[in-house]
Each structure stands twice: as structure tokens, then as C-alpha cells.
């Protein structure tokens, strides 16, 4: 097996991925801006009590489902959920970018609401406890949803099917070489924080 050749091919893939991310930066920044805009709305705008109760019940079930997990069980749970969510968020973009757009809106809103609950219960300082969980996970989410919106934009471009093929192949590479490694690191870090700390 020629390891130098494999290393060269992987290096070329990473260069190609980062080049595609650079070309897609406006879509990624749009997803970041939209996410934090709706996070602020979720934080400051009161929700009807029935919707609040539904979200709280969702979090309660999540805690009960993962209660007693060891490190590897927690890692598997987090990585599986996040990898599926980012995959769907990215490749559902073929439907004109609608699903990634609404994913950004709902995820931002729910994070804002959860943050407001945390502040009410434990004070403003409690938000710093959330921060380490998002260091690697949120960039993976922003990249997947930003590229998902870009993937759906092919219909508005000249030679749309050529653009679709280009966007789709690049999206697969970014998912494999950028998003999944970020989620692996995120899963390890978050599992340590949850299980041991």
C-alpha cells in the first residue's frame, strides 16, 4: 500500500474542501446570522405555555434517555444524532434549500429558549456552561446548513444541473472530511463534560 499516495490524495481532498468552503462563505455566514437572530428571539420573546411545555418535555425525555450512560454510550448517542442531523440538513437542501433554512430557524429558536430557561434557573453565568458544548458542534451545523442552502440554489443558476453536480460532490467531500471530524471531536468533548464533569 502506497501511504504517500494516499496521504497526497487526502491532502488534495482537504484543499478542495477548504476551497469550496471559502467559495461558500456567504451561505455559511448567512446561516450563522440567521441562527443567532432567532436565538435572540427565542431568548427574549415569551412563548405560549403549551409550546414551552412541549420543548421542556422534549429536553426532559432527552435527559431520561441518556441517564446513566457511560462515556462510549454518550459518545455514540451524540455522534449518531449529530451526524444524521447534519447529513439531513445538508442534503435536504436539494429541495430549494427550504429544509436547511427552517432547521436554522428552529434550532436557533430552541437554543435561545433553552438559554433563557437556564438563566432563569441558574443566573446569567450558567450560559458559560453551554459554551464548550458548541465549540465544534455548532461550526459543523453552520457548515452543513449553509451548504444545504447553497445546494438548493442550483435551480437559480446558469447550467443548473452542472452546478448541482458540482455542489453535490463538494458537499459530500465536506461532509466526510470536515463535518464528520468536527462531530467526532464534539462528541468526545461533550461526552467528557456530561459523563465526568
Q: Output the 3-class SS for the chain.
A: CCHHHHHHHHHHHHHHHHHHHHHCHHHHHHHHHHHHHHHHHHHHCCCCHHHHHHHHHHHHHHHHHHCCCCHHHHHHHHHHHHHHHHHHHHHHHHCCCHHHHHHHHHHHHHHHHHHHHHHHHHCHHHHHHHHHHHCCHHHHHHHHHHHHHHHHHHHHCCCHHHHHHHHHHHHHHHHHHHHHHHHHHHHHHHHHHHHCC
Q: What is the mean pLDDT of the chain?
A: 89
Is there a domain that residue 15 lies in?
no
Is there a domain that residue 17 lies in?
no
Is there a domain that residue 13 lies in?
no
Is there a domain that residue 9 lies in?
no
Q: What is the pLDDT of residues 78-126, one digit of tens each?
A: 999 999 999 999 999 988 889 999 999 999 998 888 888 878 777 666 6
Q: What is the pLDDT of residues 28-64, one digit of tens each?
A: 999 999 999 999 998 898 878 888 888 888 888 988 8
Is there a domain that residue 135 lies in?
yes
Is residue 65 scored above 70 in pLDDT? yes
pLDDT given at position 197: 63
Half-sphere exposure of 98 (CA within 13 A, CB side): 3
Is residue 150 scored above 90 in pLDDT? yes
Is there a domain that residue 19 lies in?
no
Is there a domain that residue 8 lies in?
no
pTM assigned to the model: 0.90
Q: How many structural domains is the chain composed of?
A: 1
Is there a domain that residue 2 lies in?
no
Range of the domain at 74: 28-195
Q: Please tell me the distance from the alpha carbon of residue 124 to that of residue 131, in angstroms, as a whole number.
A: 12
Amino acid at each position: 500500500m502506497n501511504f504517500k499516495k494516499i496521504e497526497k490524495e487526502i491532502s488534495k481532498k482537504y484543499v478542495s474542501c477548504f476551497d469550496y468552503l471559502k467559495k461558500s462563505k456567504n451561505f455559511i455566514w448567512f446561516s450563522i446570522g440567521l441562527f443567532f437572530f432567532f436565538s435572540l428571539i427565542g431568548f427574549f420573546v415569551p412563548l405560549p405555555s403549551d409550546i414551552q411545555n412541549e420543548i421542556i418535555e422534549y429536553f426532559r425525555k432527552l435527559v431520561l434517555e441518556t441517564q446513566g450512560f457511560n462515556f462510549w454510550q454518550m459518545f455514540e448517542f451524540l455522534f449518531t444524532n449529530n451526524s444524521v442531523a447534519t447529513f439531513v440538513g445538508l442534503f435536504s437542501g436539494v429541495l430549494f434549500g427550504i429544509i436547511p433554512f427552517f432547521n436554522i430557524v428552529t434550532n436557533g429558536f430552541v437554543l435561545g429558549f433553552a438559554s433563557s430557561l437556564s438563566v432563569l434557573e441558574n443566573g446569567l453565568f450558567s450560559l458559560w456552561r453551554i459554551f464548550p458544548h458548541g465549540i465544534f458542534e455548532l461550526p459543523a451545523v453552520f457548515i452543513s446548513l449553509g451548504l444545504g442552502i447553497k445546494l438548493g440554489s442550483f435551480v437559480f443558476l446558469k447550467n443548473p444541473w452542472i452546478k448541482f453536480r458540482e455542489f453535490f460532490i463538494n458537499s459530500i467531500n465536506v461532509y466526510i472530511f470536515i463535518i464528520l471530524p468536527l462531530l467526532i471531536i464534539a462528541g468526545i468533548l461533550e461526552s467528557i463534560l456530561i459523563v465526568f464533569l
